[in-house]
Structures are given as structure tokens and as C-alpha cells.
Amino acid sequence: MRSINKVILIGNLTRDPELRQTPNGQSVCTFGIATNRQWITKDGQKNNLAEFHEVVAWARLAEICHQFLRKGKLIYLEGYLKTRSWDTPEGVRKFKTEIIIKDMV
């Protein structure tokens, strides 16, 4: 059976994109976005909830993100979820789930 790992988000950047190079010269850009959810309870009270996402772009898309995106800007993105793990010097295993983007408007 096939499986799908696809993310589509529209949100605002929480910080300016950060561009760096891997040791082999590949460009990678990281930034955060926030999405908001609104709903009304049974008693008519409005509620808001912000969700924060870590985003990673690679290669030419990374350079475009760094060039054109700024904190507060509204962005549409498509990509997939990727979870990575590492061990801290204290021996604690840490996990981080990021959205690897393939397209951005």
C-alpha cells in the first residue's frame, strides 16, 4: 500500500531565514512559521491557537527563501515531514520534526 507524507501550510514567518552551507557546499535555509487556528465554543466565545513549525529549504530554493522572505511575511509552502535525532553531550537523545519544503509562494 502506498503512503503519503505531504504538508501544505499558509502562515507567517516568525524569524528571518538563516542561510548556511553544508561542508560539501550545498545551500540550506532554515526559518520558522506560525499558523493560527480559530474556533467558537458552544457558549459563543472565540478562541485562537498558534502553532509553530520549523522549516528547511535546500539548494536553489534555500537561496530564494533567504533572498525574498522576511519575518512577518505571509507564505504558502508545500513539503514533507522529516524527524531527525541526535544525542546531547549529556547523553540525552533529542528529536526535532521539521518541514522540508519543495515549493514556496
Which pTM does this prediction carry? 0.87
In the predicted structure, residue 45 carries a pLDDT above the cut 90: yes
Mean pLDDT of 79-95: 95
> What pLDDT digit, counting tens, does each position of 4-28 carry?
999 999 999 999 999 999 999 999 9
Mean pLDDT of 26-54: 95
DSSP states of 24-84 = TS-EEEEEEEEEEEEEE-TTS-EEEEEEEEEEEEEHHHHHHHHHH--TT-EEEEEEEEEEE
